[in-house]
């Protein structure tokens, strides 16, 4: 789930009509209405997927809910929002989605340190991905020091793929040479391969070893934005090549 998906769902069709009517009758604010609708949806989805969560030992069957995007550059507010969302949804198979902004990095550490599972979103560069993994490990170290059960804390790092090509291919087109054109559609996959290499390095490091011994879960990389944006490219390009 993310705000744009909810916006599309709520504004089209009649699936939310009764909820909206009831909320309007109570004269709640728009923000309160949105919070009640989205957390109820996520709670229901988490319940539907709970058998998968139980069957896979917590690896799958998870639902994400995003902190308010307007808080992306405010660490304290992001942590407060993450705590509130985790409390409102109150399901073990929920991930709180936090963007990988500079302010988001310490928020990830603090949220993980409190035992709240996190989906880190909007990661584009290798430098920022390494910072995200560092923030996750720091959070686990805080949780371990606080005596929390690390096996119950999960995280994924949503590393964006196709949007990297969208930006770089635009620049290659501007260059206009045959060499530049031949490089189109290749940067995103190269970036993702290097990201996976970084993941393997970090989660086999000396720093990871004591956390692994304490039954911590690796922060799994999640390939986001794998739909091809350029119609001239094969529509399964990113999925095919990432799997291979």
Q: In what order do the strands lie in the sheet with 63-66?
A: 63-66, 94-99, 118-123, 155-160, 220-224
Q: How far apart are the first and last CA of the chain?
A: 28
Q: Which of 8, 97, 142, 234 is catalytic?
A: 97
Q: Does the annotation mark 218 as catalytic? A: no
Q: Return d(Cα 170, Cα 19) in angstroms, integer.
A: 44
Q: Which of 166, 97, 159, 164 is nearest to 129 (CA)?
A: 159
Give residue 230's region: left, alpha or beta (phi > 0; psi -120 to 50): beta
**DSSP string of 30-51?**
HHHHHHHHHHHHHHHHHHHHHH
Catalytic residues: 97
């Amino acid at each position: 789930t993310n705000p744009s998906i909810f916006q599309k769902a709520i504004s089209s069709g009649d699936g939310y009509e009764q909820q909206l009517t009831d909320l309007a009758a109570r004269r709640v604010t728009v923000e309160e209405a949105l919070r009640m609708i989205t957390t109820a949806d996520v709670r229901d989805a988490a319940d539907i997927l709970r058998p998968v969560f139980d069957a896979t030992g917590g690896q799958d069957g998870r639902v994400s809910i995003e902190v308010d995007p307007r808080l992306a550059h405010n660490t304290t507010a992001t942590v407060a929002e993450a705590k509130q969302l985790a409390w409102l949804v109150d399901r073990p198979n929920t991930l709180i989605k936090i963007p990988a902004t500079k302010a988001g990095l310490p928020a990830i550490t603090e949220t993980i340190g409190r035992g709240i599972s996190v989906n880190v979103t909007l990661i584009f560069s290798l430098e920022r991905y390494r910072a995200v993994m560092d923030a996750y490990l720091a959070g686990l170290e805080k949780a371990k020091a606080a005596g929390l059960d690390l096996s119950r804390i999960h995280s994924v790092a949503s590393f964006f793929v196709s949007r990297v090509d969208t930006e770089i291919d635009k620049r290659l087109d501007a260059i206009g040479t045959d060499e530049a054109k031949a490089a189109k559609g290749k940067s995103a996959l190269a970036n993702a391969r290097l990201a996976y290499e970084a993941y393997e390095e970090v989660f086999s490091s000396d720093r990871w070893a004591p956390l692994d011994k304490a039954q911590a879960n690796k922060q799994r990389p999640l390939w986001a934005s794998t739909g091809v944006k350029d119609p001239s490219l094969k529509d399964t390009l990113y999925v095919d090549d990432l799997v291979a």
